[in-house]
Structure 1
Amino acid sequence: MHLQGVSDEIMCRAFPTILKGIARVWFSKIPPNIVSSLEELSKLFVNNFIGGQRHKRSLSSLLTIEQGQNESLRSFITHFNREVMTVDKMDDKMLLAAFHNGVNFDLVIHKLYEQEPQTMAELIHLAQSFMNVKDVIIAKKRKKAK
């Protein structure tokens, strides 16, 4: 629209057509005739939604994640991965160290040091294999109990 030389007034009127969800609700609550330029509308928009942005955490914050006493490995991996998504810059070596630091299953720790995964993908694959074996063992125990 800027390239076509469209006026601020038309751009302000076109602005709500691109909004969805909460942004559209916010826009509909702006009192009429309060905005006189596209610049004012832009400032209102940014000021309203900038507080809703999630700030990325540092990679070292992952070192505080620990597997709970009764938390399953599967649950811990889900929790760990959710936290990884909040980190700004990821480094596989640091992620591996944080996972090693947080996991509490002795057999998993043993496997991690035995196999020494070099990437998070390798570590997750190894953990998945461990969980699959554990599931088979549990299923066999249930079958024997019946």
Structure 2
Amino acid sequence: MYLADASDATRCKAFPTTLTKAAMKWFDSLPLRAVTSFDDFSHKFRMRFSIQNDKVKHAPSLLGVKQEVGKTLRDYMEMFNKACLEIQDLPTKAVIMGLVNGLRESPFS
């Protein structure tokens, strides 16, 4: 908001300071002189990251949640519950199948 009236160069310099993790990695991978203006920069950013937000998760994605070696059952349950919360209209049968499928071989399973 404070930079709304700032020059393109100032906005291009300030914007990367707001980035974290994947966005910063993407920014660091841009070739030199790949950005010609702030509008160009913001367009490239939106094209790269707005698409990822639209991905909808479905029940089969639970099959990828596995209890890792060295992780407790409690850790696995927390991770599994978070994955379940990302899926809308999740059938109970899919939850049970995903939960059992992801358990590491042990006396409990």
TM-score between both structures, scaled by the size of structure 1: 0.41
Match of 2:7 in 1: 7
Counterpart code for 2:43: K
Equivalent residue, structure 1, for 2:102: none
Which amino acid in 1 is paired with 2:24? R
Q: Within 5 Å, which residues of 2 pair with 1:1-146?
A: 1-2=3-4, 5-53=5-53, 55-57=55-57, 61=59, 78=77, 81-88=81-88, 98-99=91-92, 101=93, 103=96
2:105 — aligned with what? none
Pair member with larger Rg: 1
Per-residue CA shift, 1:65-113, capped at 9, x if unaligned?
Answer: 9xxxxxxxx78x938634422224x6xxxx6xx33x4659xxxxxxxxx
RMSD of aligned Cα (Å):
3.6
TM-score normalised by structure 2 residue count: 0.52
- The aligned amino acid for 1:14 is A
Which AA in structure 1 matches 2:26? W
CA shift for structure 1 position 13:
1.0
Alignment: residue pair count: 83
- Structure 1: give runs of 5+ residues left out of the alignment: 66-73, 105-146
Greater helix share, 1 or 2? 1
**How many Å separate the matches in 1 of 2:26 and 2:54?**
19
Kindly indicate whether structure 1 or structure 2 has the higher relative contact order, using CA contacts under 8 Å at least 6 residues apart.
2
- Identity across matched positions, percent: 25
TM superposition shift of 1:34? 2.2
Deviation at 1:10, TM superposition (A): 0.7
Q: How much does 1:40 deviate?
A: 0.7
- Structure 1 residues 85, 18: closer, same or farther in 2, change over 3 A? same
